[in-house]
Amino acid sequence: MLRGILEKSQKLNFLGNPPIDDHIRNAKGFSQVIHNFTGLKKNGKIYDLGSGGGVPALILIEELKDWEFVLIERKEGRANFLHEAIDLLNASERVEIVCDEAENVARVENLAFGADFVTARAFGPPAVTAECACRLLKLNAFLIVSEPPSTTDRWRHEKLAPTGLNPIEHSKFEDSSFQVLQQSQKPLDNLPRRAGVTRKRPLW
């Protein structure tokens, strides 16, 4: 079922060209990192930024059956695809799909500061991802970002400080790399800025 959903996503050009198995492996890396940081906590809430193609969100939903999810996708066609996928996976009771810009979602009262984990795969550069995630996370919760295959340390920058995020670990799972950041303090009240500004004028 899940593979068929991902194959449809790829045909719709919602997923990149790598084989489906590569996408699944990358998503399982997210799952492994989440397990490494849950400790005794066996359930909670995971927000996924830019969920459109279904990776890692749909794989995580299948792997972490006691967790609730919020999938954030700004494009209506992709959000509709996600609704269909969640129905097929019989996961509607624990998954919310929000079709809006992440910056707007972060200002919704019942969603702000609600995530134990925020996941991001190909959502945007570090400055954009950090700014969009910072108001979604609970205090001391974690942002997990899938990193490019070969990269320098993209996250240690003085202008990250206003987001309240702190890079704490760089993890590997098979051929995938992940940066983990912890929400060590509340972000500044003006973050994230309005939709569009985060990309046009990134923090760094």
Domains and CATH numbers, the chain: 2-200 (3.40.50.150)
Please write down the HEC assignment for all residues of 83-129.
HHHHHHCCCHHHEEEECCCHHHHCCCCCCCCCEEEEEECCCCCHHHH
Q: Over the chain, what is the mean pLDDT?
A: 95
pLDDT band of residue 151 (cuts 50, 70, 90) is: low
Answer for the pair 132, 145: CB distance below 8 angstroms, yes or no.
Answer: no
For residue 6, the model assigns a pLDDT of: 97
Residue 179 confidence (pLDDT) above 90: yes
pLDDT band of residue 41 (cuts 50, 70, 90) is: confident
Q: 3-class SS at 29?
A: helix
Give the other-Cβ count within 10 Å of 49's Cβ.
Answer: 26
Helices H, strands E: what count in the chain? 7, 7
Residue 40 confidence (pLDDT) above 90: no
Could you tell me where the beta strands, DSSP code E, fall in the chain? Answer: 45-49, 68-72, 95-98, 115-120, 137-147, 165-173, 176-183
Cα distance between residue 150 and residue 51, in whole Å = 24
Share of the chain above pLDDT 90, in %: 92
Cα distance between residue 118 and residue 192, in whole Å = 15
Over residues 52-67, the mean pLDDT reads 97
Residue 166 confidence (pLDDT) above 70: yes
Over residues 130-158, the mean pLDDT reads 92
